[in-house]
Every structure is written in structure tokens, then in C-alpha cells.
Amino acid sequence: MIVLATANPHKVDELRAILAPTGLPIRGLNDLPDSARFVEPVENGSTFAQNARIKALSYAQQTGQLCLADDSGIEIDALALSDGTPRPGVISSHYCTDGLERGMSRAERDAANNARVLRELEGVPIAKRTARFVCCMCLARPGEVLRETRGEFAGAIGVPPRVPAGAHGFGYDPLFLVAPTLTHTGAELPPAEKNQLSHRALAASLMLQWLRTYRI
């Protein structure tokens, strides 16, 4: 069995579909008995890779199972700090509150994050709104990192009223125009198509290649 270190049902569904060829049971944290007992680790890494490693090792230790964690977010070039630090980067999911947890629901955070991005990019032409989703994955068993992968999904942040648009996906998907054509947002892509193109799909497919040879 592989435990996915997330309670996000969107991620669970997406990764379960991608990793189905392993033939292994894929479970989210909420699928496990007594899931309330798990202690969420502090994700204090400065990179996606560091945070993925923290989560994978913590939940592998807590569950006693093989655990796959990912940390992902969006990097928008026009919003990068002067030292080159990408933004929103590792605080993508809480960008509206500068990385702090304020007790908002996921839907409320998504809406507020998207509103902040559009506000900060107001007046920036599409040619300078380049962006990429990044996903770093880590597979661990208790006390040991087994494999790490990285995937990127290139595009740009659209200009209203073209965006937000689309009924699929989550997070920044309704704002993100997919390269190279920039004709569809991530939220306008059918889930099956997105699962072949996305940052998470690439990182997961690289993990899948390794899992096919790994002997548990």
C-alpha cells in the first residue's frame, strides 16, 4: 500500500488515477482508520523539495507505511522578489495571508489567492505574466527517503476577463493558461488530459517508472 500524505480529495483522486498502473492500493490520509490521530508536520522548508521530504518522512513514521508526499505551487515570474525568490512559491496555498493559516476553507483560500494574484498583476502584459506550476514528490518508508522527483507545467497567468475560467481543477488552475498555445486554462482541461500534462502528472509519472521496478 502507498499512503498519500494529503487530505486534499482533489490530489488523492488525481494521484490515484496516475499511480493505478502500480497495482498497489492507494490511500489518502483520510482513508486510514483513526486518521484524526495523525499530527501534521511543520512544513518549514524553503523549497518544494524540502517540504515534500518533511511530509513523506513524518507520515511514513506515523502510519508505518510507504508514504508518498508532494509539495507543489506556482511560480509567477513577474511576482518574484528582487533576489530571485519565486512567488507565491512555497506559500502558494496560503498566498493571500502571506503563508499564515487563518482558518479559511480551501475554497475561500483559493478565491482569495487568485484575487491577490490578479490584483498584483494588474497592468502587466501577457508576455510578462509567464508562470509555471512546480511539483516535487518524495517517497519514503519509516526513517528513509527512497525516491524524489520533480515536474513542471509551463504557462502564463491570463488577463481578465479571459480568466478566471473553467470548471475543473482547483487552486490557480482557473487563472493558468497552458503553454504553448495559451488557449485553455488548467481548469478548462478535462481531468484526463490534465493528468497527462500537469506538473504533478510529470513528477508522478517519474515516480511511477521507479515504482515499477521497486520491490516492496
Q: What is the CATH number of the domain that holds 150?
A: 3.90.950.10
Is residue 84 situated within a structural domain? yes
Is residue 175 situated within a structural domain? yes
Is residue 216 situated within a structural domain? no
Q: How many domains, in total, are found in the chain? A: 1
Is residue 127 situated within a structural domain? yes
The whole-angstrom distance between residue 102's C-alpha and the CA centroid of its chain comes to: 20
- pLDDT tens readout for residues 50-103: 999 999 999 999 999 999 999 999 999 999 999 988 899 999 999 999 999 889
Catalytic residue, chosen from 13, 31, 71, 110, is: 71
Give me the domain span that covers residue 137: 2-211
Is residue 198 situated within a structural domain? yes
- pLDDT tens readout for residues 145-201: 999 999 999 999 999 999 999 998 889 999 999 999 999 999 999 988 887 888 988
For 192, counting Cβ atoms within 10 Å of its Cβ (0-12 exposed, 13-18 middle, 19+ buried), the class is exposed
Among 93, 54, 61, 70, residue whose Cα is nearest residue 19? 70
pTM of the predicted protein model: 0.89
Active site annotation includes 98: no
